[in-house]
Amino acid sequence: MTRPALLLFAHQARSYAAMIKEYVERLDVALVILSSKPRDVRDLEQLTALSPARIWHVDDEHLDESHVSMVLTEARDEGFTIIASLATFEGYRVLMALTNQRLGAVDVDPAAVRRCMDKYLCRQSLVERGLSRSVATVLDEEALSVLRASGRKLFVKPRRGAGSFACFRFDDTLTPERLQALKQQMRDDQAFRAIFAGQFDFIAEDYLHGDEYSLEVLAMGGASYVMGVHAKYLDDSSGTTLETSNSLPAPRLSDAQQLAGERFVDECLAALQLRDGCYHIEARHDPRDEHWDIIEINARMGGALINQSIGIFTGGLSMLELWVRMLCATTDAARRALRDDLNVLRESTRRRDKSMQQGTVFFSRYGQRNRTLATLSTHELAPQPDIIESPVREGTRLPDSERGIFILNALWKVPIDEIATQLNALAAMLDQKLVVRYSDAA
């Protein structure tokens, strides 16, 4: 008898493998891993130390279909039945969809996810269906001149995005030379180059007014379920737009406004034929006319501590665990049980039933580009965060890139009625007590 297994794609030996292994074991499913070549051998050592049922790693910077074909063949010969694949790294999202199509697993259509990840085509599709009032233009030297003369209030972003790389308001500092320099940074970024998938264009689109939110969504069989809506608090003083803090639930949204957001997202996913999968959807809500509009649709779970934040908000089920359950639901009974859970856990249901109690506040801190991190210490924080995560080791030279370079995420559990006050108090404490030092001059 063969053993059912979930195939995890790990980019350069980095992933959420420890969490995923725990989740699949609850379902009596094995975890097998395929990793691209690590930039730091310690990452592969840590991955191997988790003792997955099987691990493959290739001597290439990123994975492709040839690697997957090899692994599927070897897995079958070794007694595994791969029931689905999972990629939390956005650069492998199309590869995941193609693999799941091949396996017959529940997932989004590869053509639909390609269109979704292309921010220009995604915007065009939404505008054509009356679901967005922001019009996008692909930037080149001629377009720069036309848009500058138009006087429109615009926002610039890569056509394929990663890590908040070079997202900023359009102004006179964006010259053809700067545009070319940004494209070269994308080509040179070893960690994130796979996400760009050879697409280095930039677009400019009409600036969206209102407060910013992210909606964490699972789609299954054409129905969407919003597990939570995070309020986002931004800083655009560093050459790009970075999320410095998030709260869940969003204190400024009324029950009616939150429900309208859920229904709007349902329309957008239907229009884009995104019938299945996990989505981190960034949107703005303008309270002046109650208008919701999409910033972008990411065909993955949210980064930073979004996943863990949802887990606290729901009372234990994170976005990643729910996504794993969806991928491993191979019977009608398992799918019905998951849909029942999603209906109960969606935020609008819990608002209606007044069953929300515990929320979260979390903060992200970023490092200085092209400097070597000497010390990162959270020992003086009081109260200590409930969850601390740092993806960067001390002694690491940070990338010379205009994307957000995470060095720390810190989350606190907060009673829902205290979120607004705790946001300010915890931010001030973090700025005062967090120790960050570099070993080289600025």
In this structure, are strands 202-206 and 154-158 parallel, antiparallel, or unpaired? antiparallel
In this structure, are strands 435-438 and 373-377 parallel, antiparallel, or unpaired? antiparallel
Per-residue pLDDT, 442: 63
Q: Which CATH number fits domain 359-438: 2.60.120, 3.90.1170, 1.20.120, 3.30.70?
A: 3.90.1170
Q: Where are the CATH 3.30.1490 domain residues in the chain?
A: 135-206
In 3D space, the residue among 14, 10, 57 whose CA is nearest the CA of residue 389 turns out to be 14
Q: Kindly indicate the confidence band of residue 163, based on its pLDDT and cuts at 50, 70 and 90.
A: low
| SS3 at position 232 | strand
Segment 188-198 shows an average pLDDT of 65
How far is 85 from 75, CA to CA, in rounded Å? Answer: 13
What are the tens digits of pLDDT across the range 194-244? Answer: 666 667 789 999 999 999 999 999 999 999 999 999 999 887 655 566 778
Per-residue pLDDT, 239: 55
CATH number of the domain at 135-206, please?
3.30.1490
DSSP letter string over 317-385? --HHHHHHHHHH--SHHHHHHHHHHHHHHSHHHHHHHT---EEEEEEEEEPPTT-BEEEEE-TT-SSPP
**Residue 316 neighbours by CB under 8 Å, 6+ apart:** none
Per-residue pLDDT, 235: 75
What are the tens digits of pLDDT across the range 109-125? Answer: 999 999 999 999 999 99
What's the N-to-C CA distance of the chain in angstroms?
Answer: 60
Place of tokens 């699972």: 218
Q: Report the topology of domain 211-356.
A: D-amino Acid Aminotransferase; Chain A, domain 1 (3.30.470)
Least confident of 185-194, 265-274, 409-418: 185-194
Mean pLDDT of the chain: 92
Segment 25-54 shows an average pLDDT of 95
Examine the pLDDT at 32 and tell me if it is beyond 70.
yes
Q: Where are the CATH 3.30.470.20 domain residues in the chain?
A: 211-356
What are the tens digits of pLDDT across the range 334-365? Answer: 999 999 999 999 999 999 999 999 999 999 99
Per-residue pLDDT, 240: 61
Domain 3-105 has CATH 3.40.50.1100: yes
Per-residue pLDDT, 262: 98
